[in-house]
Amino acid sequence: AGLAADVERGARAQEEGAAAGLEAAAHKMDQSVAIQETLSAEETCLATVQGILATEEGMESRLLSLIESHGKSMLCLYTHRRMAITAEDVCLDRVLLIQEGFAVEEVPPENNLQIPGSDVTVQVTSGGASLLVRLPFGSHTQTFLREVRRRCSPGKKDATAADPEQSAAGEVTGAPRLKTANKMVPSSSVPASGPTQGLSTRPCGLRDTLVKSLLKQKESSYTHLQNFRFFVGTYNVNGQSPRGSLRPWLSQDGEPPDIYCVGFQELDLSKEAFFFNDTPKEEEWFKAVTESLHPGAKYAKGNKGGVAIRFQFHNSTVCVVNAHLAAHPEEYERRNQEVRDICARMQFHPLEPGCPLLAIKEHDVVLWLGDLNYRLEEQDMERVKKLIQTQDFQALHQHDQLKIQREAKLVFEGFQEGEISFQPTYKYNPGSDDWDDSAECRVPAWCDRILWSGKTVSLLSYQSHMALKNSDHKPVSAIFDVGVKVVDKKSYCKAFEGIVRSLDKMENASIPSVTLSKREFLFKDVKYLQLQVESFTISNGPVPCQFEFISKPNEDAYCKPWLIAKPSKGFLMPDSEVVIALELCVNKSTATALNSGEEKLEDILVLHLDRGKDYFLSVSGNYLPSCFGCPIQTLCYMKEPIREMLPEAIRELTLMPLLTDDAFWEEKPLDVPKELWMMVDLLCRSACHQEGLFQQPGLRPEFEQIRDWLDTGTLDVLGPVASNHSVAEALLLFLESLPEPVVCYKSYRSSLECANSYEMSSQVISMLPKCHQNVFHYLVAFLRELLKHTGKNHLDVNVLGKEIRMRDKATCFRTWSSPVLLGGRDRKNSVLYQYA
């Protein structure tokens, strides 16, 4: 589904307010790449930052790029799409050569008081030209300005401004030559920052970190809560274009909100939308939203493609999440898992370097909206319609899956939702208020929801909007009063000065020292892809300190690849403490060496204190051998489950060279690994008609059960599992964990060269070791069996070629990184395709 989250920030005057800094989490891209594509080979874009330019028409977004061309430096301004990705997204506006008379000066804030997190306003002067630009707060902007100033040297002529036509004609010496840009779309006036490649940034110093931490502790002394009105809306538009005004949804209240947060789902359902960043539907809906905002105020607009954004409003942090979860009534557990995955995986890079990543729940306010797809539990259609007709929503809501799952504390713990007093928002016949009468005849449900977390949030209204009829969903909105921490300038100065004075007295304090609650860690019975965690506490003494795990001599990382410390570095206030989690997980990159005994679960971690001493932590454990990560040849010679074999035998079989025949051992090996046979046999018997096989991910507990069955041989065949998808998941994980792929690495190039010919592909396969040949033919026979039932499982050669060869990195708990059967980048030009 196409996802988009619109954030509309109100520009209503707040004289005492500090400027709000915005940090975009969705697709943090370096827009220098798009600028570089417009330049010739002799020209280089050193850095790019997005800012707001003050023009006669108002405030307009521009990309400012520092460019070197033929030994000369220049500052170029570009109009752009909301996120510039390629050369077609930018268009040259003007050029300022960096010569004598060129200057960039920061415009000091009112009363010379710099509020933390506020944007930076600079004045660029060149000859008779003067530009006023607002740049986003952060190290990226400071690095950009530092690089520009470094190139300002005396003895050069005044810089002059030129429009694109002058630049193209060569009237401004050294101006970049641009390719023709397409017609521009309306650009965002909200600045977004991202990392700039090639430019170093200065890490935060200990004193700066301490000042910020103490200011955070004293925040209540220099801030006061001020309510701001938030409008939050969600709409699954079912791939439709807007028809008519959206004001019944976006402008229902008499008082204009300060901030709009608008999320869409299924914006564009065409195939092209899955491959390209831009879609015409996005522009249509962006325009419809812009034209339907409350007429009582003017708004600056920004649109971010992704699932979440965060921004700082005065001294409060806000995170807005737009989600479209799994469909179908029976998939509520998968929806719960998807919410947990989003919370675990969505992390934001802070504006300041060296600071830890931010999670969704580490914000003052979290607004979660979208088509969450929770349905009604086993309700009869007629009974549901009758309750809706009598507006007995309270009785109907008792069967709502989201309500049931939240009350059981299985999802959205810590979040709140308003009372539902409107009829279900799904599913309608598009263009009407009539319930779905298609062949599917979906039972009505409250799929579209808005939840929140935060101590200062007060819900004013929560409703759907029946007037909009162009989708099979109805849009939903919620209006909140959000208490935002606004800085009092005088109180802030007083707190800041007090902190600085107290720090001056601490300069000569003793070196930092800490106490560790534990220094030896034992991980017992570690299994493949099963996370184990051991924790300990660092208790600080009277001196603030920074800590970090550092690498040992002649080692690149601070720990072995199967281990990670969270957090690996941080800052401790006096007499404070932090819990460190040591997470151990064996995956495909480490399993083979652990199976053979070449590596052991042993490591020494070095915890270093800035200006202090080092502490040493011992980590050890035992790994239970697994068929996952074993070579094919090794498994063919294993007649017993791997857990029943002696370590010496496993080591000998794992380290023996890859053979072209079976003459190495007197005992004849198995044709294919028994573990592979068990999984494929079960899938052949029970999953040939399974729709979505290899496309829908399995569940973690079921995979772990299958892994243990294969490793211990407790059953001759796999026992009952809840899902064929989990067996298919285990099969793919098994193939991916092979240290030598089915089509061996040394045959990779020849397999690409022969991919267009069945005869030549057959010759490549015939040169593989016997056990690899057998596995290849066995898997191909299995795939052919699946293709015999394509009418029911909806699989074809293209789907299987894609899913078996290279899986999506973002699904479930998998981390795919390489092809399983190595057969060429084009699915139809691969050895696998020729056989299947």
Give residue 816's pLDDT. Answer: 28
- Give the lowest-confidence range in 53-62, 129-138, 504-513: 504-513
Range in 53-57, 164-168, 363-367 with the lowest mean pLDDT: 164-168
HEC secondary structure over 13-42? CCCCCCCCCEECCCCCCCCHHHHHHCCCCC
pTM score, whole prediction: 0.47
State pLDDT tens for residues 687-712.
999 998 988 888 888 999 999 999 99
Q: How far apart are CA 486 and CA 118, in angstroms?
A: 12
pLDDT for 16 equals: 30
Query: What is d(CA 167, CA 639) in angstroms, rounded to the nearest whole number?
Result: 75
Helices (H) and strands (E) in the chain, counts: 24, 30
Query: What confidence score (pLDDT) does residue 491 get?
Result: 92
Q: What is the mean pLDDT of residues 482-507?
A: 86
Q: For residues 554 and 508, which has the higher predicted lDDT (pLDDT)?
A: 554
In this prediction, residue 826 has a pLDDT band, given cuts at 50, 70 and 90, of very low
Q: Is the pLDDT of residue 316 over 50?
A: yes
| pLDDT band at residue 126 using 50, 70 and 90 as cut-offs | confident
How far apart, in Å, are the Cα atoms of 151 and each of 39, 107, 110, 427, 713?
20, 20, 29, 61, 69
Local confidence band at 111 (pLDDT 50, 70, 90 cut-offs): low
Mean pLDDT check: name the lowest of 326-340, 413-427, 500-514, 756-770: 500-514
What mean pLDDT is predicted for residues 49-75?
Answer: 88
DSSP track, 305-356:
-SSEEEEEETTEEEEEEEEE---SGGGHHHHHHHHHHHHHH-EE--SSTTPP
Task: Say which residue, 832 or 456, is predicted with more confidence.
Answer: 456
pLDDT value, residue 196: 29
Specify the higher pLDDT residue, 28 or 247: 247
Rg (CA), the chain: 31
| Structure confidence at residue 814 as a pLDDT band (50, 70, 90) | very low
Span 426-468, pLDDT tens digits:
999 999 999 999 888 899 999 999 999 999 999 999 999 999 9
- Among residues 147, 161, 255, 248, which one has the least CA distance to residue 201? 147
Between 5-19, 56-70, 494-508, the lowest mean confidence (pLDDT) is in 5-19
Q: What is the tens place of the pLDDT at every residue in 522-577?
A: 999 999 999 999 999 999 998 889 999 999 999 999 999 999 999 999 999 999 99
Instruction: Give the tens place of pLDDT for each residue, 710-763.
Output: 999 876 555 566 689 999 999 999 999 999 999 999 988 888 888 888 888 889
- pLDDT band of 205, cuts 50, 70, 90: low
Reported confidence tier of residue 664, pLDDT bands at 50, 70, 90: low
Residue 160's pLDDT is 35
Q: Is the pLDDT of residue 2 over 60?
A: no
The mean pLDDT of 192-196, rounded to a whole number, is 31
What pLDDT band is residue 815 in, cutting at 50, 70 and 90? Answer: very low
Instruction: Tell me the pLDDT band of 797, cut-offs 50, 70 and 90.
Output: confident
Say what the alpha-carbon torsion angle 185, 36, 142, 96 is, to the nearest 10 degrees: -80
Q: In what order do the strands lie in the sheet with 457-464?
A: 299-304, 3-10, 259-265, 223-236, 476-487, 457-464
Average pLDDT of the segment spanning 385-414: 95
